[in-house]
């Protein structure tokens, strides 16, 4: 008997009991839908995070306090990085074109009778160019502001809006930690970075920040939360990373373990890739388990089906079906159930992924490879879990099978 006839026969048998066939497929449908959705979402998360780091620009570096090991040991960030470090980098590292130390804290911001909590970010004029934050109106912090420790503030557009509504904030006075600041500029909207709103921020001179808001908290000098650095160009990022590391090791008199980390965009992308890759594997593994359970469901039903259809099997043998014919027939039934379930599950998964990318910032997508693998794997599962019942059917003694009533 040729395969086409076997397929027709299997379709006939499966459609004769639609409810059971559908329920049998359900496990595979759910398994496949979750594989496609999970992998799609995992990859979407990876693309989202990568996109965020790519938006920083390829020549940006960050110096953050502590080594990756020491940061894991304590809840609090180490306070080893200082303004003096930033100045040294700016003056002594030739491959660097801009250095923006940042000292930040969350504080209440008050204008007239409106109050809100915002991120207060003490920095230097370079911040605007290093991180490509542009001024929409007025001006950003100047060198003079930093030298004199003026009480000037530039507002992110969201913060400006929540304090001032539609009225013009320029020249107005707001209070941060009960200290008066004059609004000197409004920034362009920048959007969120990894879920943090970058427009709900108040920028003040770094010196004002350390002297009047946070106080001097580090024994080494004026503490900074981290330092953003722009390398001269994309090709000098590696050199800049090397030079900054050496300079800071000298300054911090380090013998063995670094108390700081210099990160490039490439490093960050690698970290994102690793985390997202692990996440995707984990999600796929969970979904894979449900696919496996679905396969067992198929085997279970097929075993029952062989029991139920003993007479049919006996009859088929009596009229000329060989053991191979029966084997092939039952395996094909299992494969059809699994492959069809796989296809339906894939469609549902694609729907799920589309839904996720519509309601969240994750640009989740379904790769054709994932679809091919999912449908292929579920067909394979049908084959794998179909063999045992099919062998049982093929081995039935036709005499016994025909007499069982």
Partner 1 sequence: MKTIIRFEHVSKVYGSENTEVRALSDVNLTVEAGEYCAIMGPSGSGKSTAMNVIGCLDRPTSGSYYLDGVDVAQLNDHELAHIRNRKIGFVFQQFHLLPQLSAMENVMLPMVYAGIPLPQRQQRATEALTRVGLANRLNNRPNQLSGGQQQRVAIARAIVNQPVLLLADEPTGALDSHTTQEVMAIFAELNASGITVVMVTHESEVARLTRRVVWFRDGQVIHPNLSPTNLAQVTVAAV
Give CA separation, 129 vs 244, 268, 345, in Å. Answer: 19, 20, 49
Using the rule CB under 8 A, which residue among 322, 360, 361, 372 binds partner 1?
Answer: 322
Rounded to the nearest whole angstrom, what is the least distance from the CB of residue 330 to partner 1 in the complex? Answer: 15
Do 183 and 138 touch, CB atoms closer than 8 A? yes
Please state, in angstroms and rounded to a whole number, the distance separating the CA atoms of residues 404 and 396: 11
Q: Is 331 in the site for partner 1 (CB under 8 A)?
A: no
**3-41 burial: b if 16+ Cβ within 10 Å, else e:** eeebbebbeebbeeeeeebeebbebbbbbbbbbbbbbbb
Please state, in angstroms and rounded to a whole number, the distance separating the CA atoms of residues 159 and 200: 5
Site string for partner 1, 343-382 (x = CB under 8 A): ----------------------------------------
Rounded to the nearest whole angstrom, what is the least distance from the CB of residue 278 to partner 1 in the complex? Answer: 49
Rounded to the nearest whole angstrom, what is the least distance from the CB of residue 32 to partner 1 in the complex? Answer: 28
Rounded to the nearest whole angstrom, what is the least distance from the CB of residue 284 to partner 1 in the complex? Answer: 39
Rounded to the nearest whole angstrom, what is the least distance from the CB of residue 303 to partner 1 in the complex? Answer: 20
Nearer to partner 1, 115 or 322 (CB): 322
Rounded to the nearest whole angstrom, what is the least distance from the CB of residue 361 to partner 1 in the complex? Answer: 51
Please state, in angstroms and rounded to a whole number, the distance separating the CA atoms of residues 34 and 290: 8
Q: How many residues does the chain have?
A: 405
Q: Is 312 in the site for partner 1 (CB under 8 A)?
A: yes
Do 47 and 363 touch, CB atoms closer than 8 A? yes
| # of chain residues touching partner 1 (CB under 8 A) | 25
Question: Across the strands, what pairs with 119?
Answer: 106, 201
Q: Is 321 in the site for partner 1 (CB under 8 A)?
A: yes
Q: Is 311 in the site for partner 1 (CB under 8 A)?
A: yes
Do 339 and 378 touch, CB atoms closer than 8 A? yes
Stretch that binds partner 1, among 8-16, 45-53, 56-64, 216-224 (CB under 8 A): 8-16
Q: Is 324 in the site for partner 1 (CB under 8 A)?
A: yes
Using the rule CB under 8 A, which residue among 16, 19, 75, 255 binds partner 1?
Answer: 16
Do 273 and 49 touch, CB atoms closer than 8 A? no
Nearer to partner 1, 18 or 253 (CB): 18
Q: Is 19 in the site for partner 1 (CB under 8 A)?
A: no
| Residue 215: partners with Cβ closer than 8 Å, 6 or more residues away | none
Q: Is 296 in the site for partner 1 (CB under 8 A)?
A: no
DSSP designation for 62: E
Query: Given the rule CB under 8 A, which residues bind partner 1?
Result: 1-2, 5, 9, 12-13, 16, 311-312, 314-325, 398-399, 402, 405
């Amino acid at each position: 008997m040729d395969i086409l006839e076997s397929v027709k026969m299997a379709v006939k048998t499966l459609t004769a009991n639609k409810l059971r066939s559908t329920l049998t497929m359900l496990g595979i449908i759910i398994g496949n839908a979750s594989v496609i959705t999970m992998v799609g979402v995992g990859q979407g998360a990876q693309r989202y995070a990568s996109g965020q780091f790519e938006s920083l620009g390829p020549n940006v570096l960050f110096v953050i306090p502590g080594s990756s090991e020491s940061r894991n040991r304590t809840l609090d960030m180490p306070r080893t990085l200082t303004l003096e470090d930033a100045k040294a980098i700016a003056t002594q590292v030739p491959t660097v074109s801009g250095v923006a130390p940042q000292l930040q804290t969350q504080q209440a911001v008050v204008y007239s009778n409106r109050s809100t909590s915002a991120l207060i970010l003490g920095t230097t004029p370079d911040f605007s160019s290093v991180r490509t934050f542009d001024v929409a109106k007025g001006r950003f912090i100047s060198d003079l502001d930093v030298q004199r420790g003026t009480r000037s503030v530039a507002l992110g557009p969201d913060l400006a809006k929540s304090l001032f509504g539609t009225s013009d904030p320029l020249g107005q006075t707001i209070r941060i930690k009960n200290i008066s600041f004059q609004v000197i500029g409004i920034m362009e909207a920048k959007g969120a970075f990894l879920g943090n709103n970058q427009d709900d921020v108040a920028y003040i001179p770094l010196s004002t920040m350390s002297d009047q808001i946070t106080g001097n908290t580090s024994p080494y000098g004026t503490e900074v939360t981290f330092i953003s650095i722009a390398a001269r160009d994309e090709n000098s990022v590696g050199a800049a990373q090397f030079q900054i590391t050496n300079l800071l090791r000298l300054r911090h008199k380090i013998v063995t373990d670094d108390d700081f980390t210099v990160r490039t965009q490439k490093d960050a992308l690698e970290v994102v890739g690793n985390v997202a890759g692990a996440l995707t594997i984990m999600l796929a593994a969970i979904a894979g388990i449900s696919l496996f359970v679905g396969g067992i469901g198929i085997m279970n039903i097929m075993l029952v089906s062989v029991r139920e259809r003993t007479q049919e099997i006996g009859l088929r043998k009596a009229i000329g079906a060989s053991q191979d014919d029966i084997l092939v027939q039952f395996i094909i039934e299992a494969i059809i159930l699994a492959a069809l379930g796989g296809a339906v599950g894939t469609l549902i998964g694609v729907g799920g992924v589309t839904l996720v990318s519509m309601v969240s910032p994750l640009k989740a997508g379904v790769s054709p490879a994932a679809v091919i693998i999912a449908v292929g794997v579920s067909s394979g599962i049908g084959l794998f879990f179909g063999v045992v019942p099919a062998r049982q059917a093929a081995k039935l003694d036709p005499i016994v099978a025909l007499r069982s009533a």
